[in-house]
């Protein structure tokens, strides 16, 4: 049975998030590795990646597809790499902090590794989101129109709210396992749309209207 075709989101979003997270968690280690390799090969072909000089990506947890295979290739191309960091004293917002082999790391309250607060607090180690060329962001779910479902905390939506207005802005690339695709997802007023979704099997760009 094709889960992608039959699982739409007319029902409970909490239940759908739970199901999609289960799908990725039950992938075997070999399946995870193969998916990560296939994802990164697709990412390397994107013009938004090939021309970028400042990229934010993430360190995967709980079965998220792994974009870090891209790091050696990015380093070779002299691309500056940043990671999202929970912004202190600000509800559900992110900083984007430089990531090097020597960057001191800690685990945040969600158990995700990120540059430590002392390192992140230094302005020279941070890049405003609008000044990044490309953000690679994890998805819980996506559909054929490149609509997205995140974790539900609104971290990226709040941190990228400036993109609703004219001005400099990064390209947003959502990434996920192919098994996280569903038939349709609703678009909420606060959602920041993606420019492209990439999985281990496909690249999806939203259809432009108007």
pLDDT, tens digit, for every residue of 96-112? 999 999 999 999 988 89
pLDDT for the residue 36: 98
Q: Tell me whether residue 125 is in a domain.
A: yes
**64 belongs to an annotated ligand binding site:** yes
pLDDT at site 91? 72
| 99 has binding-site annotation | no
Q: Tell me which residue has tokens 């607090």.
A: 121
Q: Please check if 150 is assigned to a binding site.
A: yes
Structural domain count, the chain: 1
CA 65/CA 49 separation, integer angstroms:
17
Please report the sign of the dihedral spanned by the C-alpha atoms of residue 188, residue 192, residue 195, residue 201.
negative
Q: Is residue 39 assigned to a domain? A: yes
The 3-state secondary structure of the chain, one letter per residue: CCHHHHCCCCCCHHHHHHHHHHHHHCCCHHHHHHHHHHHHHHHHHCHHHHCCCEEECCCCCCCCCCCHHHHHHHHHCCCEEEEEEECCCCCCCEEEEECCCCCCEEECCCCCEEECHHHHHCHHHECCHHHCCEEEEECCEECCCCCEECCCCCHHHHHCHHHHCCCCCCEEEEECCHHHECCCCCCCCCCCCCCEEECCCCEECCCCCC
Does residue 87 carry a pLDDT above 70?
yes
**CB-CB contact of 24 with 179 (8 Å):** yes
Q: Tell me whether residue 162 is annotated as binding.
A: no
The CATH number for 143's domain is 3.40.50.10420
Question: Looking at per-residue confidence, does 127 or 209 come out higher?
Answer: 127
Alpha-carbon distance of 53 to 133, in angstroms, equals 7
143 belongs to a structural domain: yes
Characterize 191-202 residue by residue with b for buried, 16 or more Cβ atoms within 10 angstroms of its Cβ, and e for exposed.
bbebbbbbbbee
Residue 209 lies in a domain: no
Residue 74: inside a domain, yes or no? yes
For residue 3, pLDDT over 70 is answered with no
Query: Does 174 show up as a binding residue in the annotation?
Result: no
Q: Any known ligand binding at 154?
A: yes
In contact, 36 and 67? CB cutoff 8 Å: yes
Residue 152 in marked binding region = yes
**Domain contains 156:** yes
Q: Check pLDDT > 70 for residue 10.
A: no
> Higher pLDDT residue, 127 or 89?
127
Full residue range of the structural domain in which residue 30 is found: 3-204
Percent of the chain with pLDDT over 90: 68
176 annotated as a binding-site residue: no
Report how far apart, in Å, the C-alpha atoms of 169 and of each of 16, 67, 159, 204 are: 30, 21, 12, 20
Q: How far is CA 157 from CA 28, 184, 207, in A?
A: 31, 20, 21
* 1 pLDDT higher than 90: no
Is residue 210 one of the residues assigned to a domain? no
For position 151, what pLDDT does the model report?
Answer: 77
Mean pLDDT of the chain: 89
Residue 28 within a domain: yes
Check whether 15 is labelled as a binding-site residue: yes
């Amino acid at each position: 049975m094709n889960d992608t075709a039959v699982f739409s989101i007319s029902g409970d979003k909490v239940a759908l998030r739970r199901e999609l997270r289960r799908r990725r968690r039950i992938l075997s280690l070999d399946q995870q590795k193969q998916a990560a390799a296939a994802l990164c090969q697709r990412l390397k072909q994107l013009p938004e990646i090939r021309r970028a000089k400042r990229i934010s990506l993430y360190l995967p947890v709980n079965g998220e597809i792994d974009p870090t295979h891209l790091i050696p290739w990015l380093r070779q191309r002299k691309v500056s790499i940043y990671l999202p960091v929970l912004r202190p004293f600000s509800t559900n917002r992110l900083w984007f902090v430089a990531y090097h082999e020597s960057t001191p790391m800690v685990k945040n309250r969600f158990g995700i590794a990120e540059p430590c607060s002392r390192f992140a607090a230094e302005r020279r180690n941070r890049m405003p989101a609008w000044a990044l060329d490309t953000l690679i962001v994890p998805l819980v779910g996506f559909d054929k129109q490149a609509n997205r479902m995140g974790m539900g905390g609104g971290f990226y939506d709040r941190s990228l709210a400036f993109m609703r207005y004219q001005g400099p802005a990064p390209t947003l690339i959502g990434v996920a396992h192919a098994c996280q695709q569903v038939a349709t997802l609703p678009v909420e007023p606060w959602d920041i749309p993606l420019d492209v979704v990439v999985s281990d099997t496909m690249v999806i760009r939203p259809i432009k209207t108007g």
